[in-house]
């Protein structure tokens, strides 16, 4: 990935972190942030007890992850390549052009001629009809996109996180109306920034425990066998 963190491109982060943390490189585990978010929600948040779930983080960009049976999946029916939706083609542009920070800013600027931060537009919504309409348009776009993208995967629940989701009261009703699928529940994260931290811990524990067990298994035969 060259378009983010260019100074880190080609660097051996595992070895570098291991040296700084003074631990064995095998104990360092990497996980996509959207996948960590969804794992956190599956274990302690808004997706507990759900078999098929999608996590979507809304902010400067759009993160996404798909899960079946509590595990992240990157292939399978209805799962886009690597579980990523941000770059999927949509109405001559991409998904990220319609459900990200810049989409909200663009709509509000079209109404008022003012470029503002999303948090400021949300704060203005109490008294500014243009701000309220901006979020209603965003919600409708979000619901339509989720319906378009998620039908084949048939999720039981879609959990929304990221900074924009903190203004859910302004856009969630429009998103639910446009999604219009009684089989799919649309929920807002109740963990927010804690979700990816919990998910990262869950993923590390699962992978490290499995790795340790494999190391103790003689000739590939488990102790239970």
| The pLDDT of residue 8 | 87
> Given pLDDT bands bounded at 50, 70 and 90, which one contains residue 210?
low
Contact between residue 166 and residue 192 where contact means Cβ atoms under 8 Å apart? yes
- The predicted model gives 203-210 an average pLDDT of 80
Q: Of 18-32, 95-109, 114-128, 210-224, which gets the smallest average pLDDT?
A: 210-224
Name the burial class of residue 10, with classes exposed (0-12), middle (13-18) and buried (19+) by CB atoms within 10 angstroms of its CB. exposed
Q: What are the chain's domains?
A: 33-202 (3.30.420.40)
To the nearest whole percent, how much of the chain has pLDDT over 70?
92
Name the burial class of residue 145, with classes exposed (0-12), middle (13-18) and buried (19+) by CB atoms within 10 angstroms of its CB. buried
| The pLDDT of residue 217 | 53
Q: pTM (2 decimals)?
A: 0.88
> Given pLDDT bands bounded at 50, 70 and 90, which one contains residue 3?
confident
Tokens standing for 157? 């629940």
Q: Per-residue pLDDT for 221 more than 80? A: no
Tokens standing for 2? 């060259």
Q: Of 7-21, 48-62, 156-170, which gets the smallest average pLDDT?
A: 7-21
- Tens-place pLDDT, residues 62-120: 999 999 999 999 999 999 999 999 999 999 999 999 999 999 999 999 999 999 999 99
- Tens-place pLDDT, residues 175-194: 999 999 899 999 999 999 99
| The pLDDT of residue 222 | 38
CA distance 145 to 148: 5
Q: Per-residue pLDDT for 215 more than 60? A: no
Q: Per-residue pLDDT for 61 more than 90? A: yes
Q: Per-residue pLDDT for 225 more than 60? A: no
């Amino acid at each position: 990935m060259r378009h983010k963190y260019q100074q880190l491109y080609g660097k051996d982060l595992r070895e570098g972190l291991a040296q700084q943390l003074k631990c064995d490189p095998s104990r360092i585990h990497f996980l996509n942030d959207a996948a960590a978010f969804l794992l956190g929600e599956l274990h302690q948040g808004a997706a507990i007890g759900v078999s098929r779930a999608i996590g979507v983080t809304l902010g400067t960009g759009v993160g996404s992850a798909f899960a079946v049976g509590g595990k992240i999946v990157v292939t399978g029916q209805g799962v886009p390549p690597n579980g990523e939706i941000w770059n999927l083609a949509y109405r001559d542009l991409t998904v990220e052009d319609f459900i990200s920070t810049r989409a909200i800013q663009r709509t509000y600027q079209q109404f008022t001629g003012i470029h503002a931060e999303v948090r400021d537009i949300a704060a203005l919504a109490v008294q500014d009809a243009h701000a309220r309409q901006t979020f209603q348009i965003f919600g409708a776009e979000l619901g339509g996109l989720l319906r378009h993208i998620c039908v084949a995967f048939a999720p039981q629940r879609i959990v929304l996180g990221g900074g924009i989701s903190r203004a859910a009261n302004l856009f969630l009703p429009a998103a639910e109306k446009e999604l219009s699928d009684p089989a799919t529940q649309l929920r807002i994260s109740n963990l927010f920034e804690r979700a990816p931290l919990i998910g990262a811990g869950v993923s590390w524990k699962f992978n490290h425990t499995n790795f340790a067990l494999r190391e103790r298994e003689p000739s590939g035969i488990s102790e239970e066998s």
